[in-house]
Amino acid sequence: MDNPVKLNWVIAVRERVDRLIDPIPLPNISPNIVSVASVVAMAMIFIWRDSIWWVFSFILLSILLDWFDGLIARRHNRVSARGYIVDSVCDRASELLLVLAFFQTSFLLIYAFVLNIVLAFVSWKTKLNLLIPLRLLFLLFILYIQIYGIKF
């Protein structure tokens, strides 16, 4: 299986953001380990779910680890179809943990998660990466409710 291709604007943004970290050495480890670590980081929100800032921090850590797994794979020539599937499964697992932790707060999150599952299968079939960045959107949601003083 070939890896799905990202949209051109996504590639352009990723290349610009990746350049920020070019001078920093990245460990030559399996990107799959980093993908699993992103799921573990997301699981930590269950321990500190009462603190919105801990939740924010662990979701942000999960997103950063997800970014690093791709950086490590590209930098150390470890990009593979298997790695793409592991990354995708770990991403959906992280999103599932987010949904399980906050499904009472937002039913829209449940629908978006189900849509992302469908989009993941469509991406594998069409070879075009079409996914919703749920963790990032949830971070923006947290910031929004904190700025406007909405009860979570």
Residue-wise pLDDT for 25-84, tens only, equals 999 999 999 999 999 999 999 999 888 899 999 999 999 999 999 999 989 999 988 998
SS3 annotation, the chain? CCCCECCHHHHHHHHHHHHHCCCCCCCCCCHHHHHHHHHHHHHHHHCCCCCHHHHHHHHHHHHHHHHHHHHHHHHCCCCCHHHHHHHHHHHHHHHHHHHHHHCCCCHHHHHHHHHHHHHHHHHHHHCECCCCCHHHHHHHHHHHHHHCCCCC
Residue 65 has what pLDDT? 96
* pLDDT band at 5; cut points 50, 70, 90: confident
Of residues 42 and 146, which shows the higher confidence score? 42
Residue-wise pLDDT for 77-135, tens only, equals 999 889 988 999 999 999 999 999 887 766 788 888 999 999 988 888 888 888 888 89
pTM score, whole prediction: 0.87
Going from N- to C-terminal start, the domains of the chain cover 8-17+27-147
* pLDDT band at 1; cut points 50, 70, 90: low
* pLDDT band at 152; cut points 50, 70, 90: low
